[in-house]
Structure 1
Amino acid sequence: MKYSTTTISITPTFKIKQAGFIQQTEEISRVHDDLNARIVSFQQSDLTVYLISCDNLGFPITVQTEIKQRCETALNKKCEVILSCTHTHFGADPKNENYQNFCIDKITEACVNLVYTDGDLEYSYLYESYDEVGLSRISNHKANVLLQILSIFDNKKRVINFITYNCHPTIMNGDTPFFSAEYPGYIIKKLTTSNPNEFFTFMQGADGDISTRFTRKSQDYDGVIHLGNLLINKIHNSLCNEYTLLPFTSFCFSSICVPLTHSLAPLDLSVMPSNLSPRELETIEVGIKVRNHLLENLDTLDKEVIVSCLKIGNIHFIFEPNELFSFYINAIDLENSILVCYSNGYSPYVTGFDDNFITYEKFTDTLSLESKYNLYNTVHALSKS
């Protein structure tokens, strides 16, 4: 099995607005910490696969498709590309055409020029609940907060680590006037510094109902450092645990297109609890505006989403574009599956089957119950494939 890794900067070199908060309307150029694209590639005789994790809110699927087509043309061979995003709210606007082209050019060039190592590969996998960084951001609601680590070994030495943690990177305030990779970028930088012979990448899990709203001590970069260090310590401790190595001699890739239908029934505000936090009330007001915008632009709602699975040994990496609530983790077998969101494009929140609370997320979730069942069952089927 051949493998390769690299990290490139996708920090914009021109003024552009951020994306993630409604107040981010001004173009900026100030950079606090680099925005990166981390690339892991595996190659076997008939297929090359690229797993790309970008410090961005979420690119449209057209960006992923263009990178795939360019790689196949340049290399004259079949490629599969999964473009995932960490969902930082302080990256560059992913809808900006100039920035899309900037990233497509840089990522494609990096993928095409990768140098591969022919390794004797094995893997280890662990998972555990960990909610000191992220908790449910909805009062009176329990979320499933999960840390998962898939490590790849070459000749018994750990060379690649996939870190998946399902918590929104929204520690800092929405008025933050600079670009930042937030806590995912911070932990990757620190882990790489302390483990210079290993490659680390971060993938965002099903975090629709999870954030730092009730765990952060401050909404600035000091807050990022505080919570980032908690997660780093947890990851270090986990990597020191005993592990079992299993062979990684091949991989397989599959995708399923899931058609979507929508239901835009009015939400009953009378069921809104009386003990919501000020931040929850504030976001609900924003949610009402978003819902009205959706009602006026029904043609923009997704007609379908692509759900993909990369099977590494016995581990199923399942990639999906929505901001899924952690309820959808129930669809996978945690012993052998990792659910990654903000991949194959970017799509809105999807709450659980019978979540009857009123939150910002409910206003942006337009999927019919039938479509939610279809998404859940697709993820479940891929977890068992």
Structure 2
Amino acid sequence: MSNNGKTFSNDILRHKAFLKRLQNGGNVVVAEGYIFEFERKGYLQAGTFVPEVTIEHPDLVRLMYEEFVHAGSDVVLAFTYYAHREKLRLIGREDDLDKINATALRMAREVADKHGCLMAGNICNSSVYLPDDESTHAITEEMFKEQIVLAVEHGADYIVGETFGHIGEGMLALECIKKYGNGLPAVITMSAPSGHTFIDGTDIVDGIKSLEDAGAAVVGLNCGRGPETMLPLLKEIKQVCKGPVAALPVTYRTTSDEPTFFSLTIPGTKSRAFPLDLCACLCSRQQIAEFARECKNIGIEYVGLCCGNSANMTRIVAEAYGRTPPACKYSPAMEKHFIFGEKSKFKNEYTDKLRAHIGGDFD
């Protein structure tokens, strides 16, 4: 009886820990973007984007958790994105569903406990759900259930449901977290397409508000859009939502002409950049800093970066939100650079000749 009592007590504490961080003007910095980072490192296949790396190289997943916390993330988001049954079916690894999810969740909990961080479970777009096909709703619910139950078993503080293009799938994710999540808070973020409505025709702002009204602890946007094209929507969402709002854009230079990273073209060409040449469209550090500062100014409480994120970008967001994570020790100090730094620190005869031969006027 006492053991059960302790378990119940721990569950209550976990349920409250996340919400407590957001009270009284609080905010949470969240690092995402594992999929693209591991693809860049050569441990994940573009196209399928299945996180096989979790069980093939678990040490590297743990290291990335550590890197993001070191950079300022308040949350260890378990790397269970696309570790659902439909994605695993594509590569013949459905039998590894429990192993991949459990491994990711266990390591996330361990790293979070080590650093005093929150740990979040994660479910995402199913690539199965169709608005008018009830049979796909049942399949998607079962997929969500499998991952949610495992997240609860491994001590998640809350559960993220993200990157939904249909408001109905986002709503189903919320319902499943409420149904199978043992009371854990739900963060539901939608992926805004190029227009003003989700795929099913629902107005983006109205759809986000409906998720809040249905009981999501945090609502907002992730993925799809970059900082420039996500910010206008965030400002509208903040005007209608009463609770915390989430902002997690991709780190690419989307524009009004190319509003999502799917629509980006390689600069100077008409070739599509997604996904292999998105590096040519990456935001500058200054653009990420400006986005983070603007999010703080308009009151975004749950902030981070999605596809294209890296530890140095997470540090920039964390610093904009007043954090001083360990990685700040290594924030740039260009005044110490032998070419571009403060001239008084170096021999003029050396630096002047270098500056004259590198091209451009930097003084």
Q: Same fold (TM over 0.5)?
A: no
Structure having the higher Rg: 2
| Structure that is richer in strand per residue | 1
User: TM (normalized to structure 1)?
Assistant: 0.23
| Structure that is richer in helix per residue | 2
